[in-house]
Structure 1
Amino acid sequence: MTAPRCVLQNDFLSLEVAPLGAEMQSLRTSAGDDLLWNGDATFWSGRAPVLFPIVGRAVDDVIAVADHKAPMSQHGFARRSLFALQDQTDVSCSHILTQNSKSLAVYPFDFTLKVTHRLERNTVQVTAQVQNNSAQTMPFGFGFHPAFCWPLPNAGRAAHYVTLATHSTPDMHKLDDGLLDPQPLPSPFVEGKLAIDEDLFTEGALVFPNGSEALRYGPAKGLTLEFQFHNLPDLALWRPKGAPFLCIEPWHGTASYTGDGPQISQRPNSIALAPEAVVEFGYEVTVRM
């Protein structure tokens, strides 16, 4: 029997979260307008996966921890793992994932990953806590991969932009077969502003190490989404050709560089979590009308 989804609601928003991957399934305004991608596999079956214990691909899809080597697909195993519901209220729910025989075969650590979704007025808060329950330091990467509608509700053909709160122009890296090209490229942002169009992602996702702690997505007028990121310094943007969504992905860690080895600890911006230590990540999305 499939575990039920958590349904959260307040006067402003409604949200559904599935136990598989602790993944958001829908996000709607009180007027019933969809903000989150619906997971149509024609373009991409994901909606808002959680990325752990790696972000992006590994060279040859093989990871290593010291002498332990194992196959691992892009973005790790959490997104395809069944989480247990820990608690739920009308406006929040928490799901937990811990190690099991299958995870230990590829990633030899005892861990607890807790993902919490909460509605606070017109804001969605998503937090994740990772605890290392092993006796040795645990290397990993972590990220979120939510996809939001493009265009946003009632925007019609209005141009959409991603605008960084810092108005900066961060260097961009491209992906080569899912691996990060170490050579930085000139930023496509102009004074922190990037127009989203059909041609922007012809070569795949755009990755911005040390991207931004906050940004705005949407048209110049009308409904927009404002993002705040916590302990997630890397940013990726992705949209398959013709897809009616844009992924806005805050990460701590990225795909391996082309030519790198398999060690997780040597991946860009990898985290080394001490035994019994806990680290938290999160983002907030505020809906502005």
Structure 2
Amino acid sequence: MSGTILIENEELSVEVHPLGAEMQSLRTADGRDFLWNGDADWWTGRSPILFPIVGKAPGDRIAIDGKTYPMAQHGFARRRVFDLVDRTVSSCRLRLDSTEATREVYPFAFSLVVEHRVDGRTLTITAEVNNPGDNPLPFGIGFHPAFLWPLPGAAGKMHRVTLDNGAEPGVVQLVNGLIGKTLHGSPFKDGRLELASSLFENDALIFPEGAGTGLTYCADDGAKLHFTFENLPNVALWQKPGAPFLCIEPWHGMAAHAGGTAELVERPYTVALAAGESMRFGLAVEIRE
């Protein structure tokens, strides 16, 4: 793919594009690609980085101390070109810094550094947010990778998600893209969820808390994808109904509450990063046979 950065080892190869620091492929040495291909007939995303908000804002506007600013769903980082700051055979680091253009819609100084690294059969993606300013930096951040459904070699087989903690976390529903007020019963049973497109007829399944720090996505036979999350308390699962992918999305931050305020600091799970501080968030996926 033109313009992408290739990182690899003997087990995995990954392509990352500077636009959005977005992963474009995740291949094993035998040529199987586990990442969604971005087919525009369904969804052009592959693995966008969500910053400085996760989800929608009321009327696509956020408020900072009562003043409103335009902000599209999932923020602007996925539409910005990152700078390559470091690269090895098996890793790359890209950075997005605040500019005059970003301050027009998000009036803060920031630096967002995204690293992709392969180690054996594990890909780790980390995002570090730095606050070089003099005031607290409010933001939400999340990962939005889409993986093939069915997984390679698993056509026609039941697919499931299994939580490491065996929990049955409650789920919230979206109301016109915003977080509903009611916490509903869990679709998980003893930490297991058998996947069907009907689960996503009302949009994503969003688990504000309780999903834990790890899960497995797999079919009855074949490869398994095991995920671990760092500093990401919210988890969502999403499929555009009938599409051949499943998004597994760990977040720190969610959409605004339906009927609630547009103030950024009042969005659920918003981070307020102190001046001069940094904070790290991570997603790792291991391909197991």
Structure 1, unmatched stretches of 5+, are: none
Question: What does residue 286 of structure 2 align with?
Answer: 286
| Structure 1 residues 119-160: Cα deviation after superposition (integer angstroms, max 9, x where no partner) | 000000000100011111111100000000001111121100
Q: Secondary structure at the match of 2:173?
A: strand
Report the Cα distance in structure 2 between the residues aligned to 1:192 and 1:174, rounded to whole angstroms.
Answer: 19
Question: What does residue 29 of structure 2 align with?
Answer: 30
Question: What does residue 123 of structure 1 align with?
Answer: 122
Letter in 1 for 2:261: G
Question: What does residue 264 of structure 2 align with?
Answer: 264
Q: Secondary structure at the match of 1:200?
A: helix
Question: What does residue 250 of structure 2 align with?
Answer: 250
Report the Cα distance in structure 2 between the residues aligned to 1:171 and 1:85, rounded to whole angstroms.
Answer: 40
Question: What does residue 228 of structure 2 align with?
Answer: 228
- Asked whether the 8 Å contact 1:109–1:133 carries over to 2, the reply is no
1:273 aligns with 2:273: yes
Question: What does residue 82 of structure 1 align with?
Answer: 81
- Asked whether the 8 Å contact 2:66–2:263 carries over to 1, the reply is no
When normalised by structure 1's length, the TM-score is 0.98
Q: Bigger shift: 3-12 or 110-119?
A: 3-12
Q: Bigger shift: 60-69 or 38-47?
A: 60-69
Question: What does residue 168 of structure 1 align with?
Answer: 167
- Asked whether the 8 Å contact 1:228–1:284 carries over to 2, the reply is yes
| Structure 1 residues 159-188: Cα deviation after superposition (integer angstroms, max 9, x where no partner) | 000000000000000111110102000100
Report how many residues are paired.
288
Report the Cα distance in structure 1 between the residues aligned to 2:33 and 2:150, rounded to whole angstroms.
Answer: 11
Please report how far the alpha carbon of residue 67 of structure 1 lies from its aligned counterpart in structure 2 after TM superposition: 3.5
Letter in 2 for 1:191: D
Structure 2, unmatched stretches of 5+, are: none
Please report how far the alpha carbon of residue 68 of structure 1 lies from its aligned counterpart in structure 2 after TM superposition: 3.0
- Asked whether the 8 Å contact 2:15–2:24 carries over to 1, the reply is yes
- Asked whether the 8 Å contact 1:173–1:181 carries over to 2, the reply is yes
- Asked whether the 8 Å contact 1:3–1:19 carries over to 2, the reply is no
- Asked whether the 8 Å contact 2:218–2:225 carries over to 1, the reply is yes
Question: What does residue 56 of structure 2 align with?
Answer: 57
Letter in 1 for 2:144: H
- Asked whether the 8 Å contact 1:8–1:14 carries over to 2, the reply is yes
Please report how far the alpha carbon of residue 242 of structure 1 lies from its aligned counterpart in structure 2 after TM superposition: 1.3
Q: Secondary structure at the match of 2:199?
A: coil
1:109 aligns with 2:93: no
Letter in 1 for 2:80: S
Report the Cα distance in structure 2 between the residues aligned to 1:139 and 1:11, rounded to whole angstroms.
Answer: 40
Letter in 1 for 2:25: S
Report the Cα distance in structure 1 between the residues aligned to 2:281 and 2:181, rounded to whole angstroms.
Answer: 25
Question: What does residue 100 of structure 1 align with?
Answer: 99
